[in-house]
């Protein structure tokens, strides 16, 4: 059901509630006034009977109505109704019949009932008493007009109706204003979504006052669209970069294949060299595919084998491996026991990638430091090199996939452009964070912060 329809349905429900409430209030008031008339009738009965019997009038009770307000008369068995006292409030005679008198008439303590007037719309509350004597010789009728009661009832109904209509009109105006304010941004959002679906990626919602729900909605919707567009751009760039990275080894393999088919590799030495190059390019292509698969799994929430472990052991293992690769490289390590929650294999992969990054992009004489220290509820792991560093722009995009901003980090250095992106994803999967401090000529300091062994670590379920 649409918002506008729900609001109008709510207004209808309020109108019905007003009508029912007004009717109940008016009916209750009418019942109260009628009961008051009945008490006046009962208390006035001795006075009226005195008039009918030409007896001295008794002292009336305090709540007795003036005799001038009563209608008093006789009703004979043949239905003749004669007036003895015509009250000034009574314009008509009560239209009472013998059947009514027989039904309601009593010698003592009669119960009042309502009858219409004999001409117009006037109504009466009536007491009927049987005349004393053998058999039914007639009835004495005492009546009090309900004009005042009915007028009060009608006025109350009118006031309730007019007041209810006025209140409903105000509510309707407010509701229409609220609907316009509330539905307008929703309609704009719908139009924007339709336009974006049709291909208009630049479409956005108009700005609304920041403190309103419409303003929050517009801002959230536009932020979502900006992030969606940025994600689409990253995806397109990622696909383009992945295609470019895979095209290079595929081109080399195809080139050697064409050369072989054309008879250009008849010499065994040339053939062996070509096969070595084909194998190397195939390995490179396989490494890229494996890296892409790992990133995809990490993005999907790959389950890590998290467990309390001493991270210093991983740091020492990585440094030992690096010293084997470059024995003459000055590599130092400073890492006492560092307990944290981590997946040993993935943590080793991340630290090794940072050290390999330093080895690949700095000269053989540049020192590399690997450090670790415990800090409040977690550990800091650092890989520091004293090489050329990165420009601010390169540092901003350092963890993006396939990004190479500096000539020192070109494809010829052997990387796929995915190493730092993988490190970033692995660290985030551990519930940690990675920070890069660098400047041109000031080297690079990569700092990984991981939770301690007792801290709660997010372990996304495998997807």
| One domain, residues 279 and 328 | no
Provide, rounded to the nearest whole percent, the portion of the chain with pLDDT above 90. 22
Between 215 and 97, where is the model more confident? 97
pLDDT of residue 416: 64
Between 356 and 219, where is the model more confident? 356
pLDDT of residue 68: 64
pLDDT of residue 459: 43
* Residue whose entry in the numeric block shows the structure tokens 């692995």: 426
Lowest-confidence region among 6-15, 23-32, 238-247: 238-247
| One domain, residues 256 and 353 | no
Whether 212 is in a domain gets the answer no
What is the pLDDT confidence band of residue 259, given thresholds at 50, 70 and 90? confident
Whether the Cβ atoms of residue 12 and residue 6 lie closer than 8 Å to each other:
no
pLDDT of residue 333: 95
What is the pLDDT confidence band of residue 252, given thresholds at 50, 70 and 90? confident
Whether 8 is in a domain gets the answer yes
* Residue whose entry in the numeric block shows the structure tokens 């009038």: 57
**What is the residue range of 250's domain?**
229-299
What are the C-alpha distances in Å from 308 to residues 318, 339, 417? 19, 6, 31
Give the residue from 404, 400, 407, 394 showing the smallest Cα distance to 439.
Answer: 394
pLDDT of residue 462: 39
Whether the Cβ atoms of residue 204 and residue 21 lie closer than 8 Å to each other:
no
Whether 273 is in a domain gets the answer yes
| One domain, residues 291 and 376 | no
| One domain, residues 400 and 269 | no
pLDDT of residue 25: 87
User: What tokens appear for 335 in the block?
Assistant: 């890492």
Between 460 and 74, where is the model more confident? 74
Q: Which of 299, 334, 351 represents a domain boundary (last residue)?
A: 299
Whether 430 is in a domain gets the answer yes
What is the pLDDT confidence band of residue 236, given thresholds at 50, 70 and 90? confident
pLDDT of residue 57: 44
pLDDT of residue 268: 84
| One domain, residues 313 and 380 | yes
d(CA 263, CA 246): 26
| One domain, residues 147 and 266 | no
Domain count for the chain: 3
Lowest-confidence region among 66-70, 117-121, 151-155, 191-195: 66-70
pLDDT in tens, 73-119: 888 888 888 888 876 665 678 888 889 988 888 877 888 999 988 77
Whether the Cβ atoms of residue 378 and residue 451 lie closer than 8 Å to each other:
yes
pLDDT of residue 461: 39
d(CA 141, CA 128): 5
pLDDT in tens, 311-325: 999 999 999 999 999
84: CATH: 3.30.450
Task: Please calculate the CA angle 355-360-364 and round it to the nearest 5 degrees.
Answer: 95
d(CA 85, CA 48): 9
| Across 23-40, average pLDDT | 87
Q: Supply the DSSP string of 380-405, one letter for each residue.
A: EEEEEE-S----HHHHHTTTSTT---
d(CA 437, CA 223): 29
| Across 41-56, average pLDDT | 70
pLDDT of residue 16: 87
User: Please, what is the average pLDDT of the chain?
Assistant: 82
User: What tokens appear for 302 in the block?
Assistant: 């790959």
Q: Hey, which residues does 371 pair with through a beta bridge?
A: 334, 382
pLDDT of residue 59: 45
**Cβ-based burial of 26 (10 A; exposed 0-12, middle 13-18, buried ≥19):** buried
pLDDT of residue 334: 94
Q: Hey, which residues does 379 pair with through a beta bridge?
A: 374, 450
pLDDT of residue 90: 58
pLDDT of residue 354: 94
| One domain, residues 352 and 408 | yes
Torsion, CA 233, CA 238, CA 244, CA 247, rounded to 10:
-130
Q: Which of 98, 133, 153 represents a domain boundary (last residue)?
A: 153
pLDDT in tens, 264-275: 877 888 888 889
Whether 158 is in a domain gets the answer no
| Across 210-214, average pLDDT | 68
Lowest-confidence region among 108-112, 246-250, 404-408: 404-408
Whether 29 is in a domain gets the answer yes
d(CA 310, CA 340): 7
What is the DSSP-derived secondary structure letter of residue 67? G
Whether 166 is in a domain gets the answer no
| Across 166-171, average pLDDT | 86
**pLDDT of residue 408 exceeding 90:** no
| One domain, residues 288 and 320 | no
| One domain, residues 73 and 124 | yes
Give the residue from 320, 337, 338 showing the smallest Cα distance to 329.
Answer: 320
Between 57 and 10, where is the model more confident? 10
| Across 139-146, average pLDDT | 88
| One domain, residues 94 and 126 | yes
Lowest-confidence region among 65-69, 155-159, 341-345: 65-69
Strands (DSSP E) contained in 37-122 are: 70-75, 81-85, 113-116
Which H/E stretch holds residue 250? helix 213-261
Whether 80 is in a domain gets the answer yes
Give the residue from 72, 77, 22, 25 showing the smallest Cα distance to 47.
Answer: 72
**pLDDT of residue 135 exceeding 70:** no
d(CA 221, CA 225): 6
Rg, the chain, Cα only: 50
| One domain, residues 149 and 284 | no
245: CATH: 1.10.287.130
| One domain, residues 266 and 312 | no
Q: Which of 299, 326, 347 represents a domain boundary (last residue)?
A: 299
Which H/E stretch holds residue 230? helix 213-261
What is the pLDDT confidence band of residue 456, given thresholds at 50, 70 and 90? very low
pLDDT in tens, 335-389: 999 999 899 999 999 999 999 999 999 999 999 999 999 988 789 999 999 999 9
Give the residue from 306, 301, 300 showing the smallest Cα distance to 455.
Answer: 306
**pLDDT of residue 157 exceeding 80:** yes
């Amino acid at each position: 059901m649409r918002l506008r329809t729900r609001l109008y349905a709510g207004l209808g429900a309020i109108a019905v509630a007003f009508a029912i409430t007004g009717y109940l209030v008016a009916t209750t008031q009418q019942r109260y006034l009628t009961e008051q008339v009945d008490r006046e009738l009962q208390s006035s009965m001795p006075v009226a009977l005195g008039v009918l019997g030409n007896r001295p009038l008794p002292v009336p009770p305090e709540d007795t109505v003036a005799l001038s307000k009563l209608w008093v008369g006789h009703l004979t068995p043949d239905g003749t109704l004669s007036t003895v006292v015509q009250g000034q409030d009574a314009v008509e005679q009560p239209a009472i019949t013998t059947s009514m008198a027989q039904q309601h008439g009593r010698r003592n303590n009669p119960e009042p009932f309502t009858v219409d007037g004999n001409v117009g719309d006037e109504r009466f509350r009536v007491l009927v008493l049987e005349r004393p004597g053998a058999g039914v010789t007639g009835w004495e009728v005492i009546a009090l007009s309900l004009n005042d009661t009915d007028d009060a009832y009608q006025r109350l109904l009118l006031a309730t109706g007019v007041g209810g209509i006025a209140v409903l009109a105000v509510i309707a105006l407010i509701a229409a204003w609220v609907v316009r304010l509330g539905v307008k941004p929703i309609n704009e959002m719908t139009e924007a979504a339709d336009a974006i679906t049709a291909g208009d990626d630049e479409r956005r919602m108009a700005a609304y006052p920041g403190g309103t729900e419409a303003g929050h909605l517009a801002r959230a919707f536009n932020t979502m669209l900006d992030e969606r567009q940025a994600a689409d751009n990253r995806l397109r760039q990622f696909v383009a970069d992945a295609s470019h990275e895979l095209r290079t080894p595929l081109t080399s393999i195809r080139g050697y294949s064409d050369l072989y088919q054309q008879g250009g590799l008849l010499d065994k030495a040339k053939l062996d060299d070509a096969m070595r190059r084909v194998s190397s390019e195939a390995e490179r292509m396989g490494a890229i595919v494996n890296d892409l698969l790992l990133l995809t799994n990490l993005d999907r929430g790959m389950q890590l084998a998290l467990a309390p472990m001493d991270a210093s052991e991983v740091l020492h293992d990585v440094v030992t491996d690096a010293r084997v690769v470059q024995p003459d490289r000055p590599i130092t390590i400073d890492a006492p026991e560092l307990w944290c929650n981590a997946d040993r294999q993935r943590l080793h992969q991340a630290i090794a990638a940072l050290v390999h990054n330093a080895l690949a992009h700095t000269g053989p004489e540049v020192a590399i430091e690997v450090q670790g220290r415990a800090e409040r509820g977690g550990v800091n792991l650092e890989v520091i090199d004293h090489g050329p560093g990165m420009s601010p722009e390169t540092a901003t995009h350092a963890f993006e996939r396939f990004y190479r901003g500096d000539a020192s980090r070109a494809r010829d250095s052997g990387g796929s452009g995915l190493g730092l992106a993988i490190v970033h994803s692995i660290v985030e999967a551990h519930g940690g964070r990675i920070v890069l401090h660098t400047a041109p000529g000031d080297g690079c300091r990569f700092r990984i912060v991981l939770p301690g062994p007792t801290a709660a670590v997010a372990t996304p379920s495998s997807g």
